[in-house]
Amino acid sequence: MVVAIALAKLVLHCIFNNRYGYFRDEFDYMSCGDHLAWGYVDQPPLVPFLVRVSRMVLGDSLRSIRFLPALASSVIVILTAMIARPVDGRRFALGLSAVAVLIAPIYLSGGSLLTTNSFEPLLWMGCVYFAILAIKRDPRY
């Protein structure tokens, strides 16, 4: 059920991600992706690298540029359910947490634009998940 909700979120983003045109920072990331370097003044090198890979694999369309943020936003749904399971969440808790992330405005907007902030919730939720696993396995952590 959680995977179906995540796939629905991905499809939703892929359908509606081309409605408003390019965001000004997306042009910057595309330009930096054409000229990769280890350090930029205004952003870390991960996002320009991901834009370059996305453009090489999927092309230059607006949907292809915004596919990776949509994918990251969809993985957040699955990761939220994975966080709910170790804290003794059953089927209802997993579904409720997945739906809550699905309709949360911050995650809906995060998957709609390519920014450096698109990938932060995914990374932080991953940190929380591994912290919960460490605490559940050995309470001394």
pTM value? 0.86
CA distances 16 to 11, 29, 37, Å, are 9, 21, 32
Average of per-residue pLDDT across 112-137: 89
Report pLDDT digits (tens) over 55-101: 999 988 888 888 999 999 999 999 999 999 988 888 999 999 999 99
The number of C-alpha atoms within 13 Å of 50 and in the hemisphere containing its C-beta is 20
Q: What percentage of the chain has pLDDT greater than the value 90?
A: 35
Q: Provide the pLDDT for residue 128.
A: 93
24: three-class secondary structure by DSSP: helix
- Going by pLDDT thresholds of 50, 70 and 90, the confidence category of residue 141 is low
Nearest to 73 by CA among 52, 101, 93: 101
CA distances 31 to 11, 17, 66, 82, Å, are 27, 20, 15, 36
Q: Provide the pLDDT for residue 83.
A: 93
Report yes or no: 51 and 101 within 8 Å, Cβ to Cβ. Answer: no
Report pLDDT digits (tens) over 37-59: 887 777 888 888 999 999 999 98
Report yes or no: 84 and 94 within 8 Å, Cβ to Cβ. Answer: yes
Mean pLDDT of the chain: 88
Strands in the chain per DSSP E: none
Report yes or no: 50 and 68 within 8 Å, Cβ to Cβ. Answer: yes
- Given a cut of 70, is residue 133 above it in pLDDT? yes
Q: For residue 52, what are the contacts with CB-CB under 8 A and spacing of at least 6?
A: 33, 34, 36
Q: Provide the pLDDT for residue 70.
A: 92
Q: Provide the pLDDT for residue 114.
A: 87
